[in-house]
Amino acid sequence: MLTQVAEGVLIHQSELLRNNTVVVHGRAGVLLIDPGIRGDEMVCLANDLRQLGRPVLAGFSTHPDWDHVLWHAELGEAPRYGTARCAAAMQALRANADWQARVFGGLPPEIAEEIPLDLFGRITGLPVDTARIPWDGPQVRIIEHPAHAPGHAALLIEERRVLVAGDMLSDVFIPMLDDVNGTNDPIEDYLVGLRLLEDVADDVDVIVPGHGSVGRADQVSARIEQDRAYIHALRDGNDPDDPRIGPSAKPGWEWVTDIHTGQRRRFAQRTERDETPG
């Protein structure tokens, strides 16, 4: 089911991980951002768009995590864009003969059989420093930054004052840092990403995170500050006062605390190494 969050901007939310697919209406069709995870969800979305007479003109993946680079044949053969680094990460993965087995092994087991991989990761990288998505519709600014994953991009739908945040600014997920891709300082990288989002906060009335609830204008700065406070606590070795983890976590999302526990352990070890004299 599609839900309107702003004029000409709708979302479809997946059940398991509350992934938000974003549909932006253009002149003759739609831009589809992060199109969902289960095959039946994507078929349902394609049917809804078909009934509306709105073909998919372009797709965009905000980053190269498995749940943001899926596609279904029913959505058509529109170009699927991402940043150059996002596309390069997918090309490197797909170059392995066993890439499907690798991806399948990382899927949630309860839905793994329902996730189509035939068109997984076929992303066209936009040239470095491309400012906007090339398509026939409202201008969508690309805000690429180093937080969370290689080539991660938030998108600002300028005329609609909607920020599509990718896997940031969620009310269910804590910040998840990219400490597996050779990043020198994933904590500082995440803070850079938050500063770039903060730079456009005054231009935003609606924020759509990759997972979780849509936020309104009065929540944009609050979510940025909440993520920043978590990162500062992780950096300083403190226990974050964060409602997304511990006893305050939303029912069914208690496992996010395990993600935090793992990050806290890894970054404590990283700090120990950095502070140990050579």
Domain ranges of the chain: 3-224
Q: Can you give the pLDDT at residue 182?
A: 59
Q: Is 127 left (phi over 0), alpha (psi -120 to 50) or beta?
A: beta
Checking if the pLDDT of 67 tops 90, the result is: yes
pLDDT digits (tens, 9 = 90+) for 220-267: 999 999 999 999 999 999 999 999 999 999 899 999 999 999 999 988
pTM for this entry:
0.94
Per-residue pLDDT, averaged over 94-106, amounts to 97
Contacts of 119 (CB under 8 A, 6+ apart): 70, 71, 72, 73
Q: Can you give the pLDDT at residue 183?
A: 62
Superfamily of segment(s) 3-224: Ribonuclease Z/Hydroxyacylglutathione hydrolase-like (3.60.15.10)
Residues 221 and 201: their CA atoms lie apart, in Å, by 7
Q: Can you give the pLDDT at residue 10?
A: 98
Confidence of residue 274 (pLDDT cuts 50, 70, 90): low
What percentage of the chain exceeds 90 in pLDDT? 90
Q: Which two tokens stand for residue 103?
A: 């991806």
| Sign of the C-alpha dihedral computed for residues 251, 253, 258 and 261 taken in this order | negative
Confidence of residue 15 (pLDDT cuts 50, 70, 90): confident
Cα 145 from chain centre: 12
For 9-67, give the DSSP string.
Answer: EEEEE-SSS-BEEEEEE-SSSEEEES--SSHHHHHHHHHHHHHTT--EEEEE-SSSSGG
Question: How many CB atoms are closer than 10 A to CB 246?
Answer: 14
Strand partners, 215: 207
pLDDT digits (tens, 9 = 90+) for 145-196: 999 999 999 999 999 999 999 999 999 999 999 877 756 799 999 999 999 9
Phi first, then psi: what are they for 23, rounded to 5°? -115, 120
What percentage of the chain exceeds 70 in pLDDT? 96
| Sign of the C-alpha dihedral computed for residues 134, 137, 143 and 148 taken in this order | negative
∠ at Cα 152 (242, 238), nearest 5°? 25
Q: Are strands 56-60 and 80-82 parallel, antiparallel or unpaired?
A: parallel
Q: Can you give the pLDDT at residue 275?
A: 55
On average, the pLDDT of the chain sits at: 94
Checking if the pLDDT of 277 tops 60, the result is: no
Closest CA to 231 of 210, 256, 257, 260: 260
